[in-house]
Amino acid sequence: MAKNNVVKDDLMDKLVSLCKRRGFIFPSSEIYGGINACWDYGPLGAELKRNIKEFWWREMVHRRDDIEGLDAAILMHQKVWHTSGHVAEFTDPLVDCKRCKARFKADEIQTEKCPNCGGELTAPRNFNLMFKTFMGPVEDDAGVVYLRPETAQGIYVNFLNVQGPSRQKVPFGIAQIGKAFRNEITPGNFIFRTREFEQMEMQFFIHPSEDDKWFEYWREKRWQWYLDIGIRVEKLRWHEHGPNDLAHYAKKAYDIQYEFPFGWKELEGIHNRTDFDLSRHSEATGKDLRYWDEEKKEKFIPYIIETSAGCDRTLLVCLIDAYHEEEVKGEVRSVLRFHPRVAPIKAAVFPLVKKDGMPEVAHKLYNDLRKRFKVFYDEGGAVGRRYRRMDEVGTPFCFTVDGQTLQDETVTIRHRDSMEQTRHKIAAIPDLLETSINGG
């Protein structure tokens, strides 16, 4: 059955409302009136996010011999950001309306006048997107620190710290998941563009002569990753950066884009960063960041192929892609058709009624399953209503203990997407769940 049949204009409103109502995502500091473009993840949002990050880590680190993990500090030496080019170049041209004081990115408005009120606009001026603060009690230039605008630099400065102890040989990669901060001029579209967000980045260090080969390799791998979390292939496409949008550090760059209700937008960037980063850090610090290839007796600065994904943006794509409405028996059924891999709750366990020993059997199954999976127990109200509540939060399976269970140790499995029910032995349930989440 086709996923997501909701009119584009309504979809974001419906999702924002569902996320608030069911505890996925809500405005930060809401009881104080909220803070622009900052969001908190509630119980189900936190589970969804963990599942995305864990699957990324599993595929990018655990299942590979050639990638190591890292968790670097958010605050880094201020010189890192001078060397990387962020202090000089991580800017957006900004214009202000002299009348209503609204701010716009100069390259996003087509008119000479303010799009809000028609007022006169200031001349464009460059605005640096990094958040700046001070370390220690004295607020002077020496104490300036930046909240990192990307996790990547933590990897570059630790290249040898990781390579040495892990005894990795080029080609190999370093992966990291963590918060990044950008003082965006025009945040918005829910969690699409925020000022605080999480990135899942991997830097792959290679011999310069092999850059095209590895660039293509990582493009393929990262595309497949989105299919593996259940995203519809027809909603994904490639966008190659032309000379005007190529970042200062990149020789070649492609974005994986998704068709959001507000247009095709970037989801992940794959970049050939050449030896730009390691060379710059080496020059700035005087440290030799060349790699010694023992076999070839050759010393060189590795090139880097970067895969840079946004965790919050991926989560938004999972929500948008999964949301579906349909009419069932005269009522609208809203359902999140998450892949079981990312679904916040993997299964619900219900006794059909609260008597005849059914709650006891259901509790036992629930307690067995929760050792391995995030599952949910519910015995309140009509079973049909309980199914609907689980549909709305994207739980792929509901296991119901009924009269027959007490005789033959079977339960019904109600499948979220088809709403079909099948009967299975209780003993087979854990493996069935495992296979649906992680594959056979």
Q: Where along the sequence are the contacts to ligand GAP (CB under 6 A)?
A: 150, 152, 182, 184, 193-194, 197, 199, 201, 266-269, 306, 308-310, 312-313
Name the DSSP letter for residue 208.
Answer: G
CB of 143 to ligand GAP, least distance (A): 26
* CB-CB contact of 78 with 57 (8 Å): no
Nearer to ligand GAP, 314 or 436 (CB): 314
CB of 253 to ligand GAP, least distance (A): 8
CB of 343 to ligand GAP, least distance (A): 22
Beta bridge partners of 375: 347
Dihedral sign (CA 168, 171, 177, 182): positive
Nearest to 270 by CA among 317, 324, 211: 211
Q: Which uninterrupted H or E stretch holds 181? A: strand 172-181
Nearest to 49 by CA among 325, 335, 263, 338: 338
Q: Which residue is nearest to ligand GAP (CB)?
A: 310
Name the DSSP letter for residue 26.
Answer: E
* Token pair 């393929």: residue: 220
Nearer to ligand GAP, 168 or 199 (CB): 199
Nearer to ligand GAP, 226 or 291 (CB): 226
Nearer to ligand GAP, 258 or 376 (CB): 258
CB of 324 to ligand GAP, least distance (A): 24
Nearer to ligand GAP, 277 or 378 (CB): 277
User: Can you tell me the distance from the alpha carbon of 438 to that of 233, in angstroms, rounded to the nearest whole number?
Assistant: 20
CB of 282 to ligand GAP, least distance (A): 19
User: Can you tell me the distance from the alpha carbon of 193 to that of 215, in angstroms, rounded to the nearest whole number?
Assistant: 26
Residue 326 tokens read as 């349909």
Nearest to 71 by CA among 184, 200, 172: 200
Nearer to ligand GAP, 22 or 271 (CB): 271
CB of 180 to ligand GAP, least distance (A): 7
CB of 314 to ligand GAP, least distance (A): 7
* Token pair 């199914």: residue: 387
Nearer to ligand GAP, 149 or 351 (CB): 149
